[in-house]
Amino acid sequence: MPVPRDIRDFSQVFRDNGHSLYAVGGAVRDYLLGTENNDWDFCTDATPEQVTAMFRSVIPTGIKHGTVTVVFRKQNYEVTTFRTEGPYSDRRHPDEVHFVTDLREDLSRRDFTVNALAADCSDGIIYDYFDGEADLRAGIIRAIGNPRERFEEDALRLIRMCRFCSKLGFTAHSLTFDSACALSSTISFVSKERVFEEMSKILMTKKPSAGLGMMYDTGLLKALIPELDKCASIEQDKVGSDNVLSHILVSVDAAASYGYSLTVRWAMLLHDIGKPSCMKKIGNFTRFFGHDVKSAEIALEVLRELKCSNALQEDVYVLVRNHMTRYNRSWTDGAVKRLINRVGRERLDMFFEVLWCDRIASDGKPGLEETDLLKERIDAVLDQPMTLKDLAVNGNDLYEAGIPRGPGMGRILNSLLEMVIDYPTLNSRQTLLEQAVLLSKSQSPADK
């Protein structure tokens, strides 16, 4: 395997000190697959102390587990000492690690054969003790050794299996897959943050439905997001799908095929999650009234539980809440502005992306014309007053006009805003003050 100049020079320092340096995992795997990988993980027989002694700048990033970050020619290199691992009593982290000097021993503790390939950084020779290359050629994700034991040690590997199948377009080896099914409920031992991270990585693959479908097939989805799992039992005829979960997956794939953001992909994954609880049979038809509201609520709960950022929670909530917006030409400018307010200006692009993906996954005929018209209507009103900040008066002005501060004043300001949204030409200081005084007079004392 060709080794970039800097990395070869870096490994020469190890050689000069009587040690070796190997690239391991993704870099070797992706080289053999002919795909790009800029994420290098290194391992070495030198102990963290020995590595620290070899370089001027070494950060002890994960020294307990033998990982340090070396700064070499202004680049950061993450280097982990060969190690074996003790028992995993929490099904996630080894109770103890032991440093060893044998590469094979280090590779044997890794998750899948295709991730246990190592390349010597000084000469590029590839070491493949577990037939990883053959599995790469056959497109198979196979646990190293006994799959059941590997998943019992670390439950994160369950979801990593789905991620690598999704990322590489591979299938899991039958024994590996069966063991994952048998142990799917142990995914609860993995921290929610890690689950979020791995699911996000699946969502960012080219065809997320492969990994997500595998999460469903193994029972991982049921253990992690039961409401989403339930969607598979709700029949619904749409393009390329016959139930709500498969429609969701088609919509997520659509988002991936356009290269849309992680936020939009999460929104697609959760956009119909409320359908099972809103389902109503009316004659021969099934209806899901109010599923946009319900889905937004559940989406928020799911993302809160997964402990993702507040920004993502809010964005997904708003996108899911508004995904049933259906524009028609009879909308007034006021209605267009109210939509902008509900969605938020900064989310308008994502909003259209969500509508687009849902549309593609519903009837396969994106309503281009209507969407374009709505975009034009939005552009035409964007510089008109729409929020309290845009009003020609504020609370102080009303106070000076004799209106007492309090909830009553808040209601007056909101009424003024509603009026200005519909009739922007009324947004002048004098008109609004007059209107405010009238509104204040009509309020009962209890309302002020």
Among 11, 44, 115, 176, indicate the residue that binds ligand ATP (CB under 6 A).
115
Helix H or strand E encompassing 188: none
- Of Mg ion, ligand ATP, none, which one does residue 347 interact with (CB within 5 to 8 Å by kind)? none
Q: How many whole angstroms separate alpha carbon 265 and alpha carbon 256?
A: 7
Beta strands in 121-277 (DSSP E): 126-127, 140-141, 171-172, 235-238, 241-243
Kindly tell me which residue out of 39, 346, 369, 383 binds ligand ATP, with binding defined by CB under 6 A: 39
Q: Of 39-47, 106-114, 257-265, 292-300, which part binds Mg ion (CB under 5 A)?
A: 39-47
> For residues 26 and 211, which CB has a smaller minimum distance to Mg ion in the complex?
26
Angle at 257 between CA 181 and CA 248, to 5 degrees: 50
Q: Which does residue 154 bind out of ligand ATP, Mg ion, none, counting CB within 5 to 8 angstroms by kind?
A: ligand ATP
d(CA 229, CA 276): 10
Q: Which stretch binds Mg ion (CB under 5 A): 38-46, 116-124, 247-255, 271-279?
A: 38-46
Q: Which of 36, 39, 369, 383 binds Mg ion (CB under 5 A)?
A: 39
**Phi, psi of 331, rounded to the nearest 5 degrees:** -60, 135
Burial degree of 371 (CB within 10 A; 0-12, 13-18, 19+) = middle
The torsion angles phi and psi of 169, rounded to 5 degrees, stand at 70, 30
Of the two residues 26 and 66, which places its CB atom closer to Mg ion in the complex?
A: 26
Residues 132-171 that bind ligand ATP (CB under 6 A): 154, 156-157
Contact call for residue 26 and Mg ion (CB under 5 A):
yes
Q: Using CB under 5 A, which of the segments 22-30, 97-105, 275-283, 374-382 binds Mg ion?
A: 22-30
For residue 37, the minimal CB distance to ligand ATP (Å) is 6
Of 26, 48, 66, 208, the one binding ligand ATP (CB under 6 A) is: 26
Q: Does 37 bind ligand ATP (CB under 6 A)?
A: yes
Instruction: Please give the full DSSP string across 44-91, using - where no structure is assigned.
Output: ESS-HHHHHHH-SEEEEEEGGGTEEEEEETTEEEEEEE-EEE---TTS
| Closest distance to ligand ATP from the beta carbon of 251 (Å) | 24
Alpha-carbon Rg for the chain, nearest whole angstrom, is 29
Identify the three-state secondary structure at position 43.
Answer: strand
Span of 20-28, 49-57, 121-129, 288-296 interacting with ligand ATP by CB under 6 A:
20-28
**Residue number with CB closer to ligand ATP (106 or 292):** 106
Residue 399 vs residues 396, 403, 418, 430, 440: alpha-carbon distances, Å: 5, 5, 20, 14, 11
Supply the minimum distance, in Å, between the C-beta of residue 26 and Mg ion: 4
Q: Is 383 in the site for ligand ATP (CB under 6 A)?
A: no
Task: Spell 99-113 as b/e; 16+ CB within 10 A means b.
Answer: beeebeebbebbbbb
User: Which of helix, strand or coil describes residue 144?
Assistant: coil
Q: Interface with Mg ion includes 36 (CB under 5 A)?
A: no
**45 touches, from Mg ion, ligand ATP, none (C-beta below 5 to 8 Å by class):** none
User: Candidates 109-117, 270-278, 386-394, 409-417 — which segment interacts with ligand ATP by CB under 6 A?
Assistant: 109-117
Report the 10 Å Cβ neighbour count for 271: 29
Shortest distance (Å) from residue 203 CB to ligand ATP: 14
Residues that bind Mg ion (CB under 5 A): 26, 39, 41
Residues that bind ligand ATP (CB under 6 A): 24-26, 37, 39, 41, 110-111, 115-116, 154, 156-157
